[in-house]
Structure 1
Amino acid sequence: MSGLGGRDIGHRVVVRHRIPGGLTDVIGVLQAWTSEFVTVRHADSTLHEIATGDVTAAKPIPEMPLRPVDVDQLFLTAALGRPAAETAHIGQWLLRASSGWTGRGNSLLPAGIPGVPVADALERAVAFYTERNLRPQAQVRVGSPPDQEIRALGWVDARPEQSDVLVMHTTLDHVNAKPAYEVQVAERPNDAWYATAFEGPVPAVAPQVLEKAAKTMFASVVLDGRVVAVGRGSMTGHWLGVDAIRVSADFRRRGLGTAIVQGLARWAGPDGGRRTYLEVLLENGAAMATYTRLGYQEAYRYRYLTNR
């Protein structure tokens, strides 16, 4: 089967093979390549297992162009991929509280329609956070109508010293190449995963937040007998959200973060994943460069606003 090999696993290929009455082509991502069978995953996640002896031609092909993304839908998808410990609603707006751990877990998500005037919705949000001894915050897409409406009512940047957060997206075809390291995935994180994911004590609420999504997977790389890189994947529809990526300080700049992303993408593909997103601070140049090389592009930016 000239033209393909194990190095092409995770990349788009075209495989021409014999069927009763003639020949046909299958285009998709190469999932497996052995002396007996070739397995290709079509864009709709259907797996095609083809006997190697029936293959007449096969070769890698360019990745599909990245399609535009519905930013309103992705804004909500990202929230569902990492649900807060406690939630409530003001119409379609989502209130989130997680004992103060992370901005996403402790802020209003103004997605959809609040069902009441914006000023009234914000008053309810302030009361919600005040009751929990939390600073009122709203996570807003930069330049969106809610961003403008909430600012017009006197809310200001909650973190003026911090850059925007970028939400980046791509297709799994761009990021599911074979990792350079063995990536282990598990449905639940163990103590070693948490020890690598956090510097110092693990916040008491963190396991509830990280493990709460309907479908999650926790990735790790073990080198020299210890966990040196970790990450978390969550599936919402056909979207894979990647977060909580952390590499031990003495193992950085070795491509371990890239391997974690690729390992999670390979988990998500057979489970119906088609697209993927992640978040990164604009000021984090190293991470931005890594994700851009992997094929991620900016979908939108967000900031946090507060009334004080």
Structure 2
Amino acid sequence: MTGRLEVRISAADVGKRVSVRRLTEPGVTHEKFTDTVGVLTSWDDGVLLITRRDGRSVRIPESALVAGKVVPAEPARRRGPAASYAELAPVASRAWRPVESERLGEWELRAAGGFTRRANSVLPLGAPGLPLDEALTVVRRWYGDRGLPARVQTATGAEGTQELLCAELERREWVREVTAELWTGGLAPVADRAGATGVVLSREADEAWLARYQRKGVSEVALRVLGSGPSVWFATVPSEDGGAPAAIGRCVVDGRWAGFAAVEVDPALRRQGLASRVMAALALRALDEGASAAWLQVEADNEGARALYTGMGFTAHHAYHHYREPVVSGEAR
């Protein structure tokens, strides 16, 4: 913050992106002030709750505020395709479809026998058409009827994401299990980065591809999820000894977007460019189908993947999280 220090926010600004400066807690740092930028998700009982881009919430006593103001949404990145969360969220959902789904207002309840959180969680892209507590009761009953824990997938860090819903779920003691990020980038640089020779493309995940896939014991339900999407391609680099493939990958083409997933390499053959070859082959196919932009999902602690994707020109667009229902005492799942 620059200029005159002044608190120019109030409880009426809940839901807006703000920048605040507060007095540093004694013993935490030598700096006198700490700045926080994020969405103001509540202001109750003299305490502000601000949710940062990564989804983590910061509690700030009102008495420690030195300055605060509403700030605009983050400016568009200088590289990579321009895209809103409203565009990307449905694209990502169509690339990993559940076996069963049901609408609850603008929420989508998704189930696939427990195969991955993405296919077994609520995607809340608007209002559920009910007060939140009633909606969550419906959600818990729907998943309970299927023998599954209730989960809600949320996002933070971009315009139109669900910081307020995250705060409400945490207030109700829903537990955040996983946080990852969705990254975007241009498709042509992926195709140009490495040669695509020796990569076999298929419309189905055959036995060889599944032999390298990290989720073992893939069921018929899982195969349906893996094969779902507008235009799905599987890539395989055969091994020299005829065993499990040296590398695999999956891509779903959907309009201008190509979504990459399940890029896996034999641990003994890593750092030899195999992942780049797999992605290049899939990118070339996606370009032939008219796509121009790419997206993928990566966990925060996967340093190897993050370095690879950064080198290809990908950048983080938003973070996403899976919240699991609280377990009530005496309740079994």
TM-score normalised over the length of structure 2: 0.68
1:205 partner SS: helix
1:208 partner SS: helix
2:291 to 236, 250, 273: 273
Question: How many Å separate the matches in 2 of 1:223 and 1:306?
Answer: 39
Question: How many Å separate the matches in 2 of 1:147 and 1:157?
Answer: 15
Bigger drift between 167-176 and 190-199 goes to 190-199
1:87-126 matches, cutoff 5 A:
87-126=101-140
1:149 equivalent in structure 2: 165
Q: Deviations over 1:187-220 (max 9, x none)?
A: 1121101111135422442101001223101111
Q: Deviations over 1:35-56 (max 9, x none)?
A: xxxxxxxxxxxxxxxxxxxxxx
1:158 partner SS: strand
1:211 equivalent in structure 2: 227
Structure 2 residue runs without a partner (length 5+): 1-77, 327-333
2:96 to 51, 59, 82: 82
Q: Deviations over 1:154-176 (max 9, x none)?
A: 143331xx5x2010011112211
Structure 1 residue runs without a partner (length 5+): 1-63
Tell me the CA shift for residue 118 of structure 1.
2.6
Q: Percent identity?
A: 28
When the two structures are aligned, how many residues end up with a matched partner? 242
1:109 partner SS: strand
2:246 partner SS: strand
Q: Is the 8 A contact 2:85 2:161 kept in 1?
A: no
Tell me the CA shift for residue 241 of structure 1.
0.7
Question: How many Å separate the matches in 2 of 1:127 and 1:105?
Answer: 17
Bigger drift between 255-264 and 178-187 goes to 178-187
Q: Deviations over 1:132-156 (max 9, x none)?
A: 1111110100266634235325143
1:243 equivalent in structure 2: 261
Q: Is the 8 A contact 2:139 2:150 kept in 1?
A: yes
Q: Deviations over 1:244-267 (max 9, x none)?
A: 111122222211111111111100
Distance 1:224 1:145, change over 3 A: closer
Q: Is the 8 A contact 2:248 2:265 kept in 1?
A: yes
2:304 equivalent in structure 1: 286
2:72 equivalent in structure 1: none
Question: How many Å separate the matches in 2 of 1:108 and 1:199?
Answer: 22
1:249-264 matches, cutoff 5 A:
249-264=267-282
2:212 equivalent in structure 1: 196
1:113 partner SS: coil
Aligned alpha-carbon RMSD (Å)? 1.9
Question: How many Å separate the matches in 2 of 1:180 and 1:71?
Answer: 31
The yes-or-no answer on 1:135 pairing with 2:133 is no
Distance 1:145 1:181, change over 3 A: closer
Question: How many Å separate the matches in 1 of 2:161 and 2:249?
Answer: 33
Question: How many Å separate the matches in 2 of 1:100 and 1:198?
Answer: 16
The yes-or-no answer on 1:304 pairing with 2:322 is yes
Which letter does structure 2 place at the counterpart of 1:205?
V
1:33 equivalent in structure 2: none
Bigger drift between 194-203 and 69-78 goes to 194-203
2:191 equivalent in structure 1: 176
1:24 equivalent in structure 2: none
Distance 1:145 1:194, change over 3 A: closer
